Amino acid sequence: MNRRLSHPSNRHRTNNGIEIPLLAQWLVVFFLIGLLGLFFVYLKNQQHAIGEQTRLVEAKISELHAHHDALIAKVTALTSRGALQKRLDEKYLDLVPIAETAIARTTPARTLGEERTMRTASLRRNLETD
């Protein structure tokens, strides 16, 4: 006699099925960990890209500082007394004397009447020049 066809001795068959809620929970956890890892890699790549851009900008700034310092040295050399005297001797520059009438002179300070306040400029105009 076949045991299968007869009544089984073990009526409660053990069910080794997959627990769907537990599996879904673990899948969600692993999916979130994977997303977190991808986000971390993305941020690290961004950090490296920004670091490279920063190094390029800093190199450009130091290059511009060096160029600026060279230009300041050149301007200083060209405007020094010795360089100007050399250009004057070569007749590259010409000095023109300032006419006496072109020099602005200030009048000495005067007191005003009873107020006894000091004035350094006069409001009176010369009638011949107007």
pTM of the model: 0.47
Q: How many CB atoms lie within 10 A of CB 106?
A: 8
Q: What is the C-alpha to C-alpha distance for residues 112 and 118, in angstroms, rounded to an integer?
A: 7
pLDDT above 90 for 30: yes
| Interval 69-112: pLDDT, tens | 999 999 999 888 888 888 888 988 888 888 888 878 777 555 55
DSSP, collapsed to helix, strand or coil, labels residue 82 as helix
Band of the pLDDT at 130, cuts 50, 70, 90? Answer: very low
